[in-house]
Structure 1
């Protein structure tokens, strides 16, 4: 007998943070390979995520592992322990359920083959471990704040202070003022108190090539939000109380979104804040701080004279785009967003907020003009004879494919019925010739039952009709496209239309061009651009790979969206 093929094993390894050693992954892989050799399994592929927490499932190689398992390329998944695969109880249970469905075993060096009990207990232990670590970390950070030390993060205007203790170890959590950055901080406060806007200050700092804060998602350039931030959350240069010598901790709580795996912040009530006076870190005096706060209050009141100051929506309830193309418009010069600079006109956000040192595109265009040009361009292209021809051809192919399947099934039933009737006729002929046998009665009943079933199948599956396109099909298509603008902007479908449009268009490039209409050339980028290119005279490729007028290809996920000029 032929030998049984060895199981195809996929090894997964992971370590959580940059505080752990890179060799942790190599150690896990070596241990798992040795274990697979002992079991006689063939290692088909290796997956490893470095510096990513197991509390999230959004890990590149982990997702690749799941895809390989679902494609049938893996028989068993091997890891050092269950918490390498996941530290989230729900994700662990989901992983076991999905892999069981696809017939893939989960196996760890520590616990061998995993079952419902091991997964349930292991997931619970991991969840409790993460919760315990979080509580201990918060307790430790609170202790550092009470001791007057930093609990993490480095504000602009400071640098880390290292000193060697008597035992030879280095101090941690101590900050000292950075003179050059402190000078910029004072300048920002003074200019804002003197009446300059955050936008004007950011533009001037960018023009002078003064380095901006680099922490977090910093881009290396000054933004108005870097300066003004959020008063209630204490973000932004103008709201950082550390500049007055007061450290505030526990202002925000961070929770992980279960769908995206990303952390989102929520503000804690002031009663939970922890404060500590640190006079040696003061950069701004009380008088200047008070003048800035007074001007911020004045600006807020001027922008909201009715006094209805509402909180920002919670992250999971953020509002949807206001207008049809909101969030899709991009500057063709610098790539920044094209946003409403007033109630009616779009312009480059970088040129307006960061100054000419970042982008010199000061062209603006009315919102209604942009929407009209995009929708009119779509309407014109969708009504081209070539695209209408493609529409009709695709309809014909789909109809014929469906009809072919139905015709094939009907033909099989007809052939089977002919064979059954031949057998029945043969038995009847044998009976007439005096060759009757008792077993013929049972056989005859069986054949007649099958005959009746096949006749019913044929009766319920008539011959498919020949394809005849209704003469009004083209007219109806044109009617729908002609009404495109009104339909997409109708209040009852506007939100759905906006989302559908975003599924086909990744961005709308606004290219300033004095010779173009309204001072802009407009290009669509995305899958819809490939569809529109079918209307071209030389369209020979399917939409996903068709190249359009500008011949510009933009990297995407799984395919390359086309750029199409309207």
Structure 2
């Protein structure tokens, strides 16, 4: 029987979560008609179709296809997979190389012709949609209404027009927040630094934009881009729109902002929204000029250094632990600050956290790698993992068998009821009296058959060799971290084993405690294919060198494993 994977996506808030299930339902109906077996479902909810790079569902589908877990992919339409022409072509090539065709209900089996024509049409649709949206927002701004978003110091005006529809884009001054804005302007003009202002506001209980704590960048922003409290010209009654444009970086799929020339900007006077007077506004501008002049030589020296050292201008490579380190005092993130040291971002930005301890990047990475290698799957933890995994697997298997047995019994009962109804008609009972009953029985029989067709097979029980396999794979990954050609892949594989790392100040001066949290379910899935004797074709770069298996599925029903580093 042909094994298939389903893919579904919806992209905006105007669409419903049930859109995913609707797409899955119609795809399952086609699979039933064709006699295919659904073995996996992938979805991306609330994510745009303009790029595949940032969609975890489509990335997991591609990885599993390369491992031969299914024979074809079924979706509602090609634009559900992606509207980006280059992404569609790339996915098509990868799936074709893996021997997995794409079939959609709208287009049938996807070929090079569909990729070219439909990809072009979808790309033109996105471009046309962006142009229409831009035109509509410009008209709103020229009428003195907001082009989107809500600045600090204002609140949304909710009212209806003569047709009873909500009027969008109207704003009015929030008296409470407006006084905070004036205070920030006064203190900045008086020479108080943004970091000190942010700390004072947080200490006094004033919430920042969107209810978040104040940080220095929220106040100072970027002068040329017009970001930050002290650069927002709306506070002097000038609504400026189209200051920035956004383009997608093809290497990451992320949008990157670019500053538009002054001629492209739309400026509308809205004196009713003025919060700051001209005198205070100019005082802040003078203070900014003093800062620029004071640090002009330093800024120029830094720029000259980067011009001479092109390598320093390149993007800094992602750290092994980027995004995984959290502060145990405030719950915020730790990030690289200064000369390769991790520090609490909240403490650095606004002093809202008392944790001033820092730790060198190299030291923390060594502690984490050592912990993963020697302690994450020690014999004691491995034994507990085996017990937990066996219990969860048995529970899921019992649940699958119980549901399947119940449905089979009901299916047999439904079949007998149908047979009785047909025999009654043959015995002379008027067919109209049994028509409704027969229709209900046939509907229920079809439902039960569909449910039984989707009952998954029992999950395999993991063998006790997982601990040894884990230790061997981590040792190989650790070795590969020291080789430039395989470091990126090895680092990504190690990151999948880490849920988070929490850093807290230790009892002694300068000491910092590190706690590593790992998901046992993820670890077990990481070693399971080899533990149960499965082999599959891998196309992961540097895999032969590092023993990498990046197709990791998060486990369910497992408590996280935790230990100090």
Which TM-score applies when normalising by structure 1?
0.62
**What is the CA deviation profile of residues 65-90 of structure 1, one whole-angstrom value per residue up to 9, with x for unaligned ones?**
22332222222211121111111111
Quick one: distance in 2 between partners of 1:345 and 1:104? 46
Residue 293 of structure 2, aligned match among 298, 301, 312 = 301
SS at match of 1:519: coil
Quick one: distance in 1 between partners of 2:223 and 2:235? 14
Equivalent residue number for residue 245 of structure 1: 237
Quick one: distance in 2 between partners of 1:325 and 1:32? 40
How far apart are 1:234 and its partner, in Å?
A: 0.8
Contact kept? 1:331, 1:511, Cα under 8 Å: yes
Quick one: distance in 2 between partners of 1:499 and 1:39? 39
Structure of larger gyration radius: 1
Gapped regions of structure 1 (runs ≥ 5): 388-480, 482-487, 528-555
Equivalent residue number for residue 105 of structure 2: 109
Contact kept? 1:301, 1:307, Cα under 8 Å: no
Residue 520 of structure 1, aligned match among 490, 495, 511 = 511
1:49-88 alignment, distance < 5 Å: 49-57=44-52, 58-88=54-84
How far apart are 1:288 and its partner, in Å?
A: 0.6
- CA 1:323–1:94 in 2, change beyond 3 Å: closer, same or farther? closer
Residue 272 of structure 2, aligned match among 268, 280, 287 = 280
Q: Identify the range of structure 1 (370-379 vs 65-74) with the bigger mean alpha-carbon deviation.
A: 370-379
SS at match of 2:209: coil
Matched, 1:208 2:204: yes
Matched, 1:46 2:50: no
How far apart are 1:174 and its partner, in Å?
A: 1.1
SS at match of 2:251: coil
CA RMSD of aligned residues (A): 4.3
- CA 1:44–1:299 in 2, change beyond 3 Å: closer, same or farther? same
Q: Identify the range of structure 1 (238-247 vs 219-228) with the bigger mean alpha-carbon deviation.
A: 219-228
- CA 1:329–1:62 in 2, change beyond 3 Å: closer, same or farther? closer
Matched, 1:361 2:323: no
How far apart are 1:64 and its partner, in Å?
A: 2.6
How far apart are 1:125 and its partner, in Å?
A: 0.9
How far apart are 1:334 and its partner, in Å?
A: 3.1
Contact kept? 1:325, 1:498, Cα under 8 Å: no
1:290-439 alignment, distance < 5 Å: 290-305=282-297, 308=300, 319-320=315-316, 331-334=327-330, 336=332, 348-355=344-351, 358-362=352-356, 370=360
How far apart are 1:284 and its partner, in Å?
A: 0.8
Equivalent residue number for residue 250 of structure 2: 258
How far apart are 1:99 and its partner, in Å?
A: 1.4
Matched, 1:33 2:28: yes
Report 1 or 2 for greater relative contact order, CA contacts < 8 Å, sequence distance ≥ 6. 2
Equivalent residue number for residue 15 of structure 2: 20
How far apart are 1:222 and its partner, in Å?
A: 0.7
Equivalent residue number for residue 552 of structure 1: none
Equivalent residue number for residue 234 of structure 1: 226
Matched, 1:143 2:134: no
SS at match of 2:43: strand
SS at match of 1:247: strand
Contact kept? 1:13, 1:47, Cα under 8 Å: yes
SS at match of 1:235: coil
How far apart are 1:170 and its partner, in Å?
A: 1.9
Matched, 1:167 2:158: no
- CA 1:308–1:12 in 2, change beyond 3 Å: closer, same or farther? same
Quick one: distance in 2 between partners of 1:263 and 1:202? 29
Quick one: distance in 1 between partners of 2:89 and 2:205? 52
How far apart are 1:521 and its partner, in Å?
A: 3.2
Contact kept? 1:200, 1:353, Cα under 8 Å: no
Contact kept? 1:254, 1:266, Cα under 8 Å: yes
Equivalent residue number for residue 289 of structure 1: 281
Quick one: distance in 2 between partners of 1:44 and 1:324? 34
Contact kept? 1:157, 1:177, Cα under 8 Å: yes
Quick one: distance in 1 between partners of 2:494 and 2:70? 34
- CA 1:252–1:40 in 2, change beyond 3 Å: closer, same or farther? same
How far apart are 1:510 and its partner, in Å?
A: 5.8
How far apart are 1:512 and its partner, in Å?
A: 2.8
Matched, 1:11 2:3: no
Quick one: distance in 2 between partners of 1:501 and 1:337? 20
SS at match of 1:162: coil
Residue 176 of structure 1, aligned match among 166, 172, 177 = 172
Contact kept? 2:341, 2:361, Cα under 8 Å: no
Give the count of matched residue pairs: 412
How far apart are 1:378 and its partner, in Å?
A: 11
SS at match of 2:5: strand
Quick one: distance in 1 between partners of 2:334 and 2:57? 35
Matched, 1:223 2:215: yes
Q: Identify the range of structure 1 (341-350 vs 189-198) with the bigger mean alpha-carbon deviation.
A: 341-350
Quick one: distance in 1 between partners of 2:87 and 2:260? 28
Equivalent residue number for residue 195 of structure 1: 191
- CA 1:251–1:115 in 2, change beyond 3 Å: closer, same or farther? same
- CA 1:88–1:501 in 2, change beyond 3 Å: closer, same or farther? closer
- CA 1:171–1:114 in 2, change beyond 3 Å: closer, same or farther? same
Contact kept? 2:320, 2:492, Cα under 8 Å: no
Quick one: distance in 2 between partners of 1:323 and 1:20? 37
Which TM-score applies when normalising by structure 2?
0.63
Quick one: distance in 2 between partners of 1:557 and 1:8? 19
Contact kept? 1:509, 1:524, Cα under 8 Å: yes
- CA 1:317–1:160 in 2, change beyond 3 Å: closer, same or farther? farther
How far apart are 1:211 and its partner, in Å?
A: 1.4
Quick one: distance in 2 between partners of 1:151 and 1:69? 43
SS at match of 1:78: strand
